[in-house]
Structure 1
Amino acid sequence: MSTPQRDPYPDALRACALLVVVFGHWIATLPRLEDGRLVDTDHLLATWDAAGLLTWVVQVVPLFVFVSAAVSSDGVARRVAGGGQWNWWAARALSLARPTVTYLAVLVALAAASLLSGGRLLGVFDQSLTIHLWFLLMLLTVQALLPWCLRLDARFGLGAVLGLVAVAAGLDLLRAGASSPDDVRRLGALVDARPAGIAWLNMLVVWLLPQQLGIAWKRGRFRGAGAGAGLLVLGAVWLLLALASGYPVAMVGVALAGNNMLPPTLALVGVMWLQAGAVLLFEPLARRLLAGHAPARAIAVLGALGMPLYLWHKLAELPAAWLGERLGLPIDAGLPGEPGFWAGRAGWIALCLLMVAPVIALVLRFELRRDRDVPAVDDARRAIVGGVALYAGLAAALAWGVWPGAVVALPAVALASWQLRRRSGTG
């Protein structure tokens, strides 16, 4: 029996989302030099108010979760029906753990070299080299709940999506302490001014929303350009009302630009509506563009590069800064609005591209030499042990940066990789 061809549209969406994340991170990093030496980095959102609106486009995590759920739902349903739920999630976790071990090992080596040589640049980029690992933690969590989301969809349909929206809204209302219609009108301002408290549960609820919506899309519960246009209108109105109530504009977790991410707020749900609407509205055009052989090949290449590029793209900033220093390039281009700022941004991105290319080539060469078909464990106890070790390792790196975070994380993630594979597998 021939293997069914992959649908190129979801693959293209995921590849484009990853590229947006990579270039968005590079654009947002503003190196700061003193006497020709890098001393710090700024964030674009902290220096340019208008950048908050750009995050409505570059905050593509809802899109990635939405599409991933649609792509995975049929396979997960078959695995669950056959009693292979633990094996499915262990395989997903293993596919993240193995390349992460390599990344953490390089960070530990850099930390050791930095301690021995008194390295300065690693200290500047310490936290930024691990901060993006939060995405792996979130993705592992929502995908672990994918079988339950499938059951919710089967029973409630789009009502499951509305239920999650209601829970997210209730948590924001509790966080705000809203007790009157006037409080509801100022909901965003009250949420932004108060500690998260119980609303930390929205770290799960809000990220489950695009997953539940992606399952509903896959099941045909909404489709077509008309539904896409409706979702776009809903998203636009949702975001305007959120801003009017006082929610911050920016949709990423940068404190100086407000915070709709830690934990996610109702405002971030508006971005999900926009992105799901765009997926439906532009689907006919996108499928026509992807019909040729060349686009399919490009999407396949980008898909293969996705995980390595996401893991390693932040590390490219380290040698890019070093090269910029040595060559006296204008990587510190000042502030938005100053002469040469955007030219400096373009130069910085070109340096990051130049540095990431050999890194990705080496990583791919290493990964391709490993056995890529290592089977995942189908034992619940070992899957849980491996999952806990993986969560602990990623959390340590996320919280503590390269030093000591990566040093603590490396053995934990290595243990996870070992526990999540069948004993007959090889590393």
Structure 2
Amino acid sequence: MPNPPRDLYADALRACALLVVVLGHWIATLPRLQDGRLVDTDHLLAAWDGAAMLTWLVQVVPLFVFVSAAVSAGGVARRVEAGGAAPWWAARALALARPTVTYVAVLVALALLGLASGGRLLAVFDQSLTVHLWFLLMLLTVQALLPWCLRLDARYGLGAVAALVALAALLDIARAGAWSPGELMRLGSLVSERPAGIAWLNMLVVWLLPQQLGIAWTRGRFRGAGAGLGLIALGAAWLVLAMASGYPVAMVGVALAGNNMLPPTLALVGVMWLQVGAVLAFEPLARRILSGAGAGAGRGPGRIIAVLGALGMPLYLWHKLAELPAAWLGERLGLPIDAGVPGEAGFWLGRACWIGLCLLMVAPVIAAVVRFELRRDRDVPAVAHTWRIVLGGLALYVGLAAALAWGVWPGALIALPAVLLASWQLRQRTAVAEIASAREN
């Protein structure tokens, strides 16, 4: 059966979300120089309180999960009816594992070179080069539960969305110990003051919410600009109430406490409403523009969207590594990449120089990575052993978690054999057609 045509609007949303994430990471990194040499990096949120509200716009992970679920729902539903979605998930995991092997191997090589030569720049960026791998762990987990979410939608519709919101709220309330009306009025403050405890379950519950919404959207349970404006209003009111109760303003975190990400809180749900509302509100206009501009797969906006989609995984994996040569070149050229803090003269010029260097450096990195990945891409056999999926999946989780927890050294060194094992096992399990479908979705 031929695959249904691509939804250019959904693909454009994912491409835009990816670009926002990449640029957001570069903008948030503040190089700190001493005597012309990089000695540390700062985070924009730590240097400028006003940046916290900007995270309401640049925290687009909910949007990516929402659109990915909408795009994948139909194909996964067909696979479930045909006997199971395990091969689909294995293909998605393999599509993440194989390029991650290359990335982690390069990190290990850099770490070994750094041990031999001092590795000053690598030491500065150590944790920064692996912190973004959290997204792969989260995405693998929620997508493994996509068949379950499809069944929930079929049985309960939007009731499944409401149940997830209620469960996320209950976990925040339990974390805060806020059971009286007066305590609920200070829910955000109490949540911020106390250890996460049971609320770590929101690392799953909250990220399942945009997935459940994406399924509901693609099945037509809510549609139209009117519904979009309603969700935007809900999101705005939600965030106002969340801030009034004491939740932090920032929707990304620079520490394991005092933020809305680790674990996700009810405040982050407000951003989800805003983003889903915007998707609906702008959908009619966006689809007219895409169709009117001749956005076929081979021309115009369609070509741009297709290229960004193809570069999505390489760009996400490697964009942080581009900061290493960007810092090196900034030092050599004497550019003002350390421009102090907002409000000081030259800050925004320094930001422009830094982002320009990152853009300049990421281009050859991505070109080399894509060339390598295309050369090693080849057909793989299908072997029907479920234990390979389990073993490969566990190995991938272990590898990503090690790199995330311990950075380049020793995290990447531990991660490399684990991710290699994952790629080998998942490759044995996954058919060529499944891999192609996973890339398309």
Check if 1:309 corresponds to 2:315.
Answer: yes
Aligned position for 1:356: 362
Q: Does the CA-based 8 Å contact 1:63-1:272 persist in structure 2?
A: yes
Shift of 1:4: 3.5
SS of residue matched to 1:31: strand
Q: Does the CA-based 8 Å contact 1:260-1:268 persist in structure 2?
A: yes
Shift of 1:99: 0.2
Aligned position for 1:410: 416
1:244-263 alignment, distance < 5 Å: 244-255=244-255, 258-263=258-263
Aligned position for 2:106: 106
Check if 1:138 corresponds to 2:144.
Answer: no
Q: Does the CA-based 8 Å contact 2:195-2:257 persist in structure 1?
A: no
Return the match for 1:367 from 347, 368, 373: 373
1:248-287 alignment, distance < 5 Å: 248-255=248-255, 258-287=258-287
Q: Does the CA-based 8 Å contact 1:86-1:378 persist in structure 2?
A: no
SS of residue matched to 2:339: coil
Q: Does the CA-based 8 Å contact 1:249-1:258 persist in structure 2?
A: no
Aligned position for 2:73: 73
Gaps of 5+ in 2: 433-441
In the alignment of these two chains, the number of paired residues is 427
With normalisation by structure 1, the TM-score equals 0.98
Aligned position for 1:176: 176
What's the Cα RMSD here? 1.6
Q: Distance in 2 between matches of 1:334 and 1:296?
A: 41
SS of residue matched to 2:38: strand
Shift of 1:289: 1.9
Q: Distance in 2 between matches of 1:281 and 1:373?
A: 42
Aligned position for 1:342: 348
Aligned position for 2:27: 27
User: Which letter does structure 1 place at the counterpart of 2:401?
Assistant: A
User: Which letter does structure 2 place at the counterpart of 1:262?
Assistant: L
Shift of 1:134: 0.2
Return the match for 1:383 from 389, 392, 402: 389
Q: Does the CA-based 8 Å contact 1:52-1:257 persist in structure 2?
A: no
Out of 292-301 and 56-65, give the one that drifted further. 292-301
SS of residue matched to 1:342: helix
Q: Residues 376 and 119 from structure 1, CA distance in 2 versus in 1: closer, same or farther, beyond 3 angstroms?
A: farther
Q: Does the CA-based 8 Å contact 2:315-2:366 persist in structure 1?
A: yes
| CA offsets 1:232-256 (integer angstroms, 9 cap, x no match) | 0000000000000000000011239
SS of residue matched to 1:246: coil
Q: Residues 373 and 310 from structure 1, CA distance in 2 versus in 1: closer, same or farther, beyond 3 angstroms?
A: farther
Q: Does the CA-based 8 Å contact 1:227-1:277 persist in structure 2?
A: yes
Gaps of 5+ in 1: none
Shift of 1:210: 0.2
Q: Distance in 1 between matches of 2:383 and 2:351?
A: 45
Aligned position for 1:393: 399
Q: Distance in 1 between matches of 2:107 and 2:361?
A: 16
| CA offsets 1:279-304 (integer angstroms, 9 cap, x no match) | 00000111122222300110000001
| CA offsets 1:167-206 (integer angstroms, 9 cap, x no match) | 0000000000012111000000000000000000000000
Q: Residues 377 and 163 from structure 1, CA distance in 2 versus in 1: closer, same or farther, beyond 3 angstroms?
A: farther
Q: Distance in 2 between matches of 1:268 and 1:196?
A: 15
1:287-326 alignment, distance < 5 Å: 287-291=287-291, 292-293=294-295, 294-326=300-332
Check if 1:221 corresponds to 2:224.
Answer: no
SS of residue matched to 1:195: coil
Q: Distance in 2 between matches of 1:287 and 1:80?
A: 30
Q: Residues 249 and 376 from structure 1, CA distance in 2 versus in 1: closer, same or farther, beyond 3 angstroms?
A: farther
Q: Does the CA-based 8 Å contact 1:167-1:205 persist in structure 2?
A: yes
Shift of 1:331: 0.5
Aligned position for 2:63: 63
Aligned position for 1:158: 158
Shift of 1:84: 3.1
Q: Residues 262 and 378 from structure 1, CA distance in 2 versus in 1: closer, same or farther, beyond 3 angstroms?
A: farther
Out of 251-260 and 299-308, give the one that drifted further. 251-260
Q: Does the CA-based 8 Å contact 1:91-1:376 persist in structure 2?
A: no
Aligned position for 2:192: 192
Q: Distance in 1 between matches of 2:395 and 2:281?
A: 41
Q: Does the CA-based 8 Å contact 2:91-2:430 persist in structure 1?
A: no
Q: Distance in 2 between matches of 1:377 and 1:39?
A: 50
Aligned position for 1:116: 116
Sequence identity of aligned pairs in percent? 81
Q: Distance in 2 between matches of 1:7 and 1:399?
A: 37
Q: Distance in 2 between matches of 1:409 and 1:241?
A: 42
User: Which letter does structure 1 place at the counterpart of 2:308?
Assistant: L
SS of residue matched to 1:264: coil
Check if 1:11 corresponds to 2:11.
Answer: yes
Q: Does the CA-based 8 Å contact 1:87-1:377 persist in structure 2?
A: no
Q: Does the CA-based 8 Å contact 1:90-1:378 persist in structure 2?
A: no
Q: Does the CA-based 8 Å contact 1:46-1:257 persist in structure 2?
A: no
